[in-house]
Chains A and B, each alone.
Chain A
Amino acid sequence: MASSGFQADVKALQKHLAARHLIYQHQHNKQMSCPAMAQLLSNTLYYKRFFPYYSFNVLGGLDNEGKGCVFTYDAVGSYEKVGYSSQGSGSTLIMPFLDNQLKSPSPLLLPAQDAVTPLAEAEAIDLVKTVFASASERDIYTGDKLEIVVINADGIRREYMDLRKD
């Protein structure tokens, strides 16, 4: 779960979900699937509809079949399963670029076409690095350092990259 916005709300929200995930594991003796967590996050956010968590989230993970999924949220819990997304102050810079690179077809098409061109892991990581480096140029709040989390069948891995420090 990646969150942008007010840090105290972000920490509180992530802590809340971590606690709920632990309870789920105690009750069901298994990890929560990404779609399950997606719904939980939405409900948690909407619970505070009239005093929101100032947190803009993107949830990524694996579904029950082991396929990757990405969910994108607003601060009060509206969410959607997408092929890719960005949130936060740099999102206006990042999202159009992602649309361009990942060839999202029109949502008006019938039958609905899968939104993402298939990407290899190395290509995806490179794209993420490019996108953040570009956003750091023009968005004053984006920069210093980037953390990339890679989730696949082998597990979870983290990578770090320095960004512009101004």
Chain B
Amino acid sequence: MALKQPENSLLGSESDSQRTLYPYVTGTSVAALKYKDGILMAADMGGSYGSTLRYKSVERMKPFGKHSLLGASGEISDFQEILHYLDELILYDNMWDDGNSLGPKEVHNYLTRVMYNRRNKFNPLWNSLVLGGVKNGNKYLGTVSMIGVNFEDNHVATGFGNHLARPILRQEWHENLSFEDGVKLLEKCMHVLLYRDRSAVNKLQIAKITKEGVTIHQPYSLKTYWEVSAFENPAQGAIGSW
């Protein structure tokens, strides 16, 4: 006879079906930086199902409100739920009709609270978010993780980007990057991620946000170089037992 649990217990298999235990369809790294006119953000379009590259046209960056851009890595369905929350947030903000609109800093704070409170209820949104925007000429770039760790900085990255992209950004980022230099720097990060992150796909989007608004460019591919001599005739020198 099964142990009788109160309705809201965290024990038992039924409660497991009510909360996220592990992610299913995931997106990999997002990288972003501040540049002269605003924020640049890059993410590839892959949606992995474990080790299978299941979806190859997933838009992991979405604009919302007048001047904000949200990029996410992690569980795609949780990202879609966050977008739903944000739509509602922006709707209520517009309904006030008071000439005031939520800036990226406010949205970042809201997302931090959502992620942290979900974590406290043992039902996390399995995402690492990058939030960028420009309001009243002020550039803002922040990040929140699935457990609620949050901060703002001149350049951020999620997932593998933390290990591969951030060292590059720390070395080469500077104030007042031009658009071209910013894109080049992000592409450098995405290159390294493409070579070294197994869940990366060679189809990426760059998004730009300035005081004029958000532009998400068409997807494109990076040129890769594989003519390394070690890759020529890889079986040569391999001693097999058969």
Contacts and interface: CB of A to CB of B under 8 A. Distances in A.
A7 B145 CA distance: 11
B216 interface: no
Nearest to B145: A8
Contacts of B151: 7
A51 interface: yes
Interface string A1-39: 000001111011000000000000000000000000000
Contacts of B112: 8, 11
Contacts of B148: 8-9, 11-12
B58 to A, nearest CB: 27
B99 to A, nearest CB: 26
Contacts of A12: 116, 148
Q: Is chain B's binding surface mostly helix, strand, loop or mixed?
A: mixed
Contacts of B119: 8
B222 interface: no
Nearest to B116: A8
A8 B120 CA distance: 11
A46 to B, nearest CB: 17
Contacts of A7: 149-151
A56 to B, nearest CB: 17
Contacts of A51: 120
Chain B interface size band reads 10 to 19
Contacts of B102: none
A6 B120 CA distance: 13
B147 interface: yes
Nearest to B151: A7
Nearest to A9: B148
Nearest to A10: B149
Contacts of A9: 148
A112 B145 CA distance: 48
Contacts of B145: 8
B203 to A, nearest CB: 33
A9 B116 CA distance: 9
A11 B150 CA distance: 9
A80 to B, nearest CB: 28
Nearest to A165: B170
A12 B145 CA distance: 14
Contacts of A8: 112, 116, 119, 145, 147-150
A7 B112 CA distance: 12
A13 B145 CA distance: 18
Interface in B32-90: none
A17 to B, nearest CB: 16
A7 B148 CA distance: 8
B145 to A, nearest CB: 8
Nearest to A48: B120
Please provide the 8 A-B residue pairs with the shortest distance between their CB atoms, ordered closest to farther: A8-B148, A7-B149, A8-B149, A8-B116, A8-B147, A12-B116, A11-B150, A8-B150
Interface of A: 6-9, 11-12, 51
18 contacts: A6-B147, A6-B149, A7-B150, A7-B151, A8-B112, A8-B116, A8-B119, A8-B145, A8-B147, A8-B148, A8-B149, A8-B150, A11-B112, A11-B148, A11-B150, A12-B116, A12-B148, A51-B120
Given A7-B151, A9-B148, A11-B112, 13 more contacts: A6-B147, A6-B149, A7-B149, A7-B150, A8-B116, A8-B145, A8-B147, A8-B148, A8-B149, A11-B148, A12-B116, A12-B148, A51-B120
